[in-house]
Amino acid sequence: MLSFWWLLGVLLTLAKFGHSLSCMKCSNITAAMCTGPSVTCTSGLACRALYAEVSADGSSGTISTHFVGMSCASESQCNVQGSIGIVGGKIKLATSCCTTDNCNVTLPSLPADNSVANGLTCPFCVPSSTSCNASSMQCLGNENQCVLLNGSLTGSL
């Protein structure tokens, strides 16, 4: 009878704490894949791959860079796809997930380009040294929200 209560206690303890998933954690801006150490996620998370492309029009044509990252993430961050229009360019991203230990997350496909204006606009500005004069930018395809980005870039692409 004692072994029954011991087994029941072990099962309840395991059920209470759940299983923590192990996922690869890495990032890379020079290749279409990355490798890294296996990390233990907190309970309820999935292994996620994020793939992004940033493109911008420059003096020598359109330049683009890619980013790949793998990590633990909530399931609400899984199977997401979208784009953000920026002045002179675009950011496209997609995610995919899996839910077994150290699973091989497949790299998601980026959304197709869509250059059809949808009638929505967002304010934008490129700050000068003393002020920022807002203009409007057309939203394309299924872009339906404005975002506020603030920061600086250094280096070159």
- What is the domain partition of the chain in residue ranges? 19-113, 114-144
If you write DSSP's letter for every residue of 92-105 in order, what string do you get?
A: EEEEEEE-STT--P
Residues 6+ apart with CB under 8 A from 33: 68, 107
State what percent of residues in the chain have pLDDT above 90.
31
Residues 6+ apart with CB under 8 A from 98: 46, 47, 104, 105, 106
Please write the tens of the pLDDT for every residue from 70-89: 999 999 999 999 888 887 88
Give the right CATH number for 19-113 from 3.30.70, 2.40.230, 2.60.40, 2.10.60: 2.10.60
pTM of the entire predicted model: 0.72
Please write the tens of the pLDDT for every residue from 10-58: 343 444 345 689 999 999 987 778 889 999 999 889 999 999 998 887 7
Cα distance between residue 57 and residue 151, in whole Å: 19
Alpha-carbon dihedral 60, 66, 67, 68, rounded to 10 degrees? -170
Please write the tens of the pLDDT for every residue from 97-118: 999 998 988 889 898 888 899 9
